[in-house]
Structure 1
Amino acid sequence: MIDVQRLRVLRSVAEHGSFNRAATALHLTPSAVSQHIAALERSLGAPVVDRSTRGVTLTQAGRIMVGAAESVAAELAHAAREIDRLGTARGRLTIATFTSGGQHLLPGALTHVTAAHPGTLVHVREAEPEDSLPLLRQGTVDVALAYHFDGPLPRLRGPGPAVEWIPLMEDPLHVVLPEPHPLAARPVLNLAELADEPWVLGCLKTEAYLRRYAEHAGFSPDVRGSTTDHFFARSLVAAGVGLSLIPTVALTPPLPGVRAVPLEAPTPSRHIGVAVLHRPGRPEVSTLIEALRQYAEAGARASDGVATTPRPADEAGKAPTA
C-alpha cells in the first residue's frame, strides 16, 4: 500500500527540485525526506527521482506518482470540506483570483452568491494563475478566476485531477497615454507608431507580451518602470514617465490625465475564465460561475476606447443581465 505522507513528500520534492528545499517546506530534515522517497521507491519497485549534484528530477514513474499525489490531495481536501459542511450545515466556497479580476468581476458575483446561498462561508485569496491553478489541483480552493495570454493556461493539462476551463471574456489590452500626447486623440493605434516611446508596465507578465508584439512591429521597447499594479502604472503614465499597456478590466476607475486607446488587429488580449475541477456540481459554485459570466459580459462593453465598469446588481443578489 502506498503511504499518503510519502506522496506528499514526493510532491514537495517535485515542486522545489531538491531534498533540502522540500525538507524546509515540510519542516522535516533532508534525511527524513530521503528516507520517505527511498521507502516509496521500494514500495513501487521503481525509482521516482534521478539524483544528481544539481538536484533531483522526476523519472517517468515519479511524474505518474506526482499526478496521483495531486489527485489524492485534492480528493482528501474536498472530502474534508464536505464533512465539515455536514457538521455545520453551512457551505464553504474558496476562490483564488488575480488582482484585477478580483477587483472588477468578483465582488458583484459574490453578492449574488451570498444572496442565493445565505450562510455560505466565502473565502477569497489573491493569486496569479501560475499559483491559483496548483491550489485548485491540490483542493485548497474550489474555483480559480484566472487568465492567460497566448497559449494554454499553466498546468491546465497534465497529471493530476482534470481541470475544466470555462471562458468568460476576452480582455483586450489598450495603450494608455497622457492626455496631452499627440496620439491620445486617435481612435486606434498601431504598435509600430509607438516604437520611440518609453513604457511603464502594470504587470510583470506584460513585459514579455509587449516585447513579443513589439518585435513583430519591428522594435524593442524602452521599459522605464515595472509595477504589479495597473492603477499605479496609469498614475506613472499621467506623470509623463511613459506609456503603458493595460487590460480593459483594469481601466476602471477612470484616472484623470490619461486616455486609453485600442490597438489595431491583431489586438493583444488576455483570456479570462474560471477553472474548476471535474466533480459533482455544487450549487454555490454553479451560481458563482453564472454570475461571473454575466458580470464579464457587462464588463466587456467599452465606450470611446475605455472600458466601462460592470454595472452593479439591479437589486441585492441579482446579477446584471448582459
Structure 2
Amino acid sequence: MDFTDVSLTALRVFRAVAEQGTFTAAAGSLGYTQSAVSRQIAAIERAAGAELLERRRDGVRLTTAGRVVMRRARTVLDEIDAAARELSGLPEQAGTVRLGWVPTAGAVLVPRALVALRQSDPGLRVVGREGGTPTLVRALRAGSIDLALLASAPPFRAPDAESPPLALQTLTERALCLAVPSTHPLARGDFVDVADLRGQRWIAGSSSGEDRLMGVWPGLDERPDIAHTARDWLAKLHLVAAGCGLTTAPAVLASAAPPGVRILPVRGGPQEQRRLLLARLPQSPTEPVTRVAATLRAVALASDAPTAAP
C-alpha cells in the first residue's frame, strides 16, 4: 500500500464518484470522459491495495476500505482548498455552511431560513444545492455538503445502510395532499375522497426509474393513467393549473402553489404521511453548522406543521 503517488485529481474523482453514485454521472459533473474517471479510480485502488467501490447494477457504493479513504480524502481536499483560498487572499470558510435540500424544502423552508439567518447571523454564509434524497445522502457521505434536508415516506427507514448511521432529526411530519385544478369537480370541497381518485389522470415523476409514480396517489387499486411526466415540482403544479391532471404534493407547497391550483387533503383511506428530515454526519458539528441547523428547526416549528421526535 503506497499513497505517495496518489494525485489530487484522483482524490477529487473518487469523491465525485462516491457522491454521484455512478462513473457516468461523476464524469459528467467533472467534465471528464468515463474512461478517464475509470483510470483515476483504478489508480487510487491500486495505491490502496483494496477495492474502494462496490460495483452494483444500480451504481456504486463505498466499501469499508473506501469509507476510510474517503474520510482522509475529505481532510486532504479541504486543506488544499483552504490553502488555495488563503493564497488568493479570499477569506476562510469557517463561517460557511454547505446545505443540500430536496425540491419541496427549497420552495418554502429554505428561503425563510436564509432570510432569518441574514438577520441573526449576517456574517454566516450558506451555499446550497438542490437534489433528490439519494443524491444528497451520497453528498453528505462524500463530505461535499454539511447538512441536508431529506424527504422520507413510510415505513420511514434510514436513508441509507452505510455505517456509521447519519444523525437525523424530523423537522416536520405532514399528511400528503393532492394538487387539483381549481376548475376540477374535486376542487369544490375542502377535501378529496380517496374513492374519487379512480379514473383520474395523473402528472407523475420522471419517465423511468423509481420516481416514475411519484405524483400518483399511493395505493391506487388500478393502473394509473399518466398524462404527463415531469421531475420539477413547479412544472407539475403548472400542469395541474392548466387542467392536465392531478398530482400529489406535500402540504408545505400550499403557500407556493400557482394560481389555478388547490392543495387539498385526501380522506377515506390510510393517511399518507411524509417527513422532512435534517441530516448530517454523526461527528460533532461545527458551530456554524449548529447555528444553521437551529434556524432550520425554528423555521420548521413556525410553519404550523406538527413535529415529531428525532
Change (3 A) 1:3 1:207: same
- Counterpart secondary structure, 2:291: helix
* Map of 2:231 onto structure 1: 228
Q: Given the alignment, which residue of 37, 53, 58 partners 2:45?
A: 37
- Counterpart secondary structure, 1:242: coil
Cα distance in structure 2, aligned partners of 1:13 and 1:244: 33
Q: Given the alignment, which residue of 267, 270, 275 partners 2:274?
A: 270
User: Does residue 1:71 correspond to 2:71, yes or no?
Assistant: yes
Change (3 A) 1:225 1:121: same
Deviations 1:184-225 (A, max 9, x none): 2233333332111111136776643455823xx411211101
Cα distance in structure 2, aligned partners of 1:143 and 1:279: 12
Q: Given the alignment, which residue of 208, 217, 221 partners 1:218?
A: 221
Letter in 1 for 2:22: H
Gaps of 5+ in 2: none
Matched residue count: 287
Q: Given the alignment, which residue of 209, 213, 219 partners 1:208?
A: 213
Cα distance in structure 2, aligned partners of 1:21 and 1:253: 35
Cα distance in structure 2, aligned partners of 1:76 and 1:249: 40
* Range that drifts further, 180-189 or 126-135: 180-189
Letter in 1 for 2:64: I
Cα distance in structure 1, aligned partners of 2:16 and 2:122: 37
Q: Given the alignment, which residue of 120, 126, 143 partners 1:139?
A: 143
Identical-pair percentage: 23
Deviations 1:204-253 (A, max 9, x none): 76643455823xx4112111012223333222222221112111122223
Cα distance in structure 1, aligned partners of 2:54 and 2:130: 35
Letter in 2 for 1:73: A
Letter in 2 for 1:152: R
The 5 Å alignment of 1:169-208 reads 169-201=172-204, 207-208=212-213
User: Does residue 1:16 correspond to 2:22, yes or no?
Assistant: yes
- The answer to whether the 8 Å contact 1:192/1:219 transfers is no
Shift of 1:79: 5.6
- The answer to whether the 8 Å contact 2:204/2:215 transfers is no
Gaps of 5+ in 1: 303-322
* Range that drifts further, 106-115 or 69-78: 69-78
Cα distance in structure 2, aligned partners of 1:109 and 1:50: 38
Cα distance in structure 2, aligned partners of 1:241 and 1:174: 18
Note the aligned Cα RMSD (angstroms): 3.9
- The answer to whether the 8 Å contact 2:99/2:147 transfers is yes
Letter in 2 for 1:283: E
TM-score (norm 2): 0.74
* Map of 2:245 onto structure 1: 242
Change (3 A) 1:72 1:89: closer
* Range that drifts further, 178-187 or 243-252: 178-187
User: Does residue 1:295 correspond to 2:295, yes or no?
Assistant: no
- The answer to whether the 8 Å contact 1:93/1:284 transfers is yes
Cα distance in structure 2, aligned partners of 1:100 and 1:251: 11
Q: Given the alignment, which residue of 123, 127, 152 partners 2:157?
A: 152
* Map of 1:129 onto structure 2: 133
* Map of 2:285 onto structure 1: 281
- Counterpart secondary structure, 1:252: helix
TM-score (norm 1): 0.72
Shift of 1:146: 1.7
- The answer to whether the 8 Å contact 2:52/2:63 transfers is yes
